[in-house]
Amino acid sequence: MTGALHAALAALEAVPLASIGEILTDLADLETLVGIGLDGLSKFGIYVTIAAGLSLIFGLMGVLNFAHGSLTMLGAYLGGAFMLFFVSSATGDVVTIVFFFCTMALVFAIVTGLGAVLEIGVIRPIYDRPPLFQILLTFGIVLVLDEVVRIVLELEGIQSSTDWQAARGTRPDEILGFHEVFGISIRAIYQFQTIVGILVVVATWWFLTRTRYGLHIRAGSEDGEMAQALGIDVRRSFTVVFGVGAGLAALAGVMLMWDPRYGASVPLGVETLLIAFVVVIIGGLGSFKGTVVAAAIVGLVDALMSWLFVNHVDFAGLPELVMFLVLVLVLVARPQGLYGVEEVGGH
């Protein structure tokens, strides 16, 4: 781990930088700070939605789901397909946004059902096996999902390695436009992503702490035998967790389908899987609170580094480099993550 830290620092030192004084002077401008903060909030909305499902599945079940990114990619394509079906050139902005929320609900329901089927038919038989079996099995699911999507796209004449422009074209003018927030011009879609991310956090927290089913799930993850003795169907609870985690991954994909920085493509699965693991590991495996805090940290760091790249630093990989540097620093200082616990999950 120390060697990785030295390598990351060496790479950062090699980046051509403007003078520190010039950078600090620009950062002292209130408008610049507000702009970075708003950008960080939009990225928080994306990152917490991407990572929430992975945090639930590992935190409550102890399952390392490497198929999480592919489920996000699947959600992006399903969302694009439904939007192309619902929306035409004559559809107004308000109706399009209503259709978008309906699409999110529909995709969440479909992929939640798919996740439940995967848990029952594929994941459940290996609960008592070593973690290596989970890694290999979920990686196999990645290969199957990616290839199935590629085959379908080729049959439809769609390029799988690039962003699906037709789906992105369903964005209404209201989402494409810019809004003034505290005197800063920001894309409406970024504000939308911030709101969706906050709603995901609130809904997930409410589900886990304020519903009977959420209490059953947490009881089963803490002590499965005792929960079973009290009449709780632990297996069914874990099926619900895996399904909801898969649905949240797909929900993030629907958001990214419209995002000018991402878009629906098969490589989106790998990209979002890396983000999810970075956020969950920094926050601490098994801690939903840690995932929320880590998403905020990573989002702000990404926004700051993106601003540096645009204004002062001639190195396109700076945001990714510093994001992984933060990951390395957290693991060196606190291997279990910010809010991690020593043991998570149970069956």
Q: Give residue-wise pLDDT tens across range 280-290.
A: 999 987 788 88
Q: Give the pLDDT band (50/70/90) at residue 161.
A: confident
Examine residue 161 and state whether it is found in any structural domain, yes or no. yes
DSSP code string of 277-322: HHHHHHH-TT-HHHHHHHHHHHHHHHHHHHHHHHHT---TTHHHHH
What b-and-e string marks burial along 10-31, b requiring 16 or more CB atoms within 10 Å of the CB? eeeeeeeeeeeeebeeeeeeee
Examine residue 155 and state whether it is found in any structural domain, yes or no. yes
Q: How confident is the model at residue 315, as a pLDDT?
A: 64
pLDDT for 9 beyond 90? no
Examine residue 78 and state whether it is found in any structural domain, yes or no. yes
8 A C-beta contact, residue 259 and residue 127: no
Q: What number is the average pLDDT over the span 236-255? A: 90
Give the number of domains in the chain.
Answer: 1
Q: How confident is the model at residue 241, as a pLDDT?
A: 86
Q: 196, exposed or middle or buried, with CB in 10 Å at 0-12, 13-18, 19+?
A: buried
Alpha-carbon Rg for the chain, nearest whole angstrom, is: 21
d(CA 243, CA 225): 22
Examine residue 305 and state whether it is found in any structural domain, yes or no. no
Q: Give the pLDDT band (50/70/90) at residue 182.
A: low
Q: What is the mean pLDDT of the chain?
A: 83
pLDDT for 184 beyond 80? no
Condensed to tens digits (0 to 9), the pLDDT of residues 304-315 reads 888 777 666 666
Examine residue 332 and state whether it is found in any structural domain, yes or no. no
Q: Give the pLDDT band (50/70/90) at residue 141.
A: very high
Condensed to tens digits (0 to 9), the pLDDT of residues 55-114 reads 888 877 778 889 999 999 999 999 999 999 988 776 777 888 889 999 999 999 999 999
Q: How confident is the model at residue 223, as a pLDDT?
A: 65
Q: What number is the average pLDDT over the span 117-123? A: 92
Structure tokens at 278: 């970075």
d(CA 300, CA 291): 14
d(CA 5, CA 322): 11
Examine residue 151 and state whether it is found in any structural domain, yes or no. yes
Examine residue 43 and state whether it is found in any structural domain, yes or no. no
Examine residue 338 and state whether it is found in any structural domain, yes or no. no
Domain that residue 198 falls in: 48-297
d(CA 167, CA 264): 8
Weakest mean pLDDT among 29-43, 133-147, 150-164: 29-43
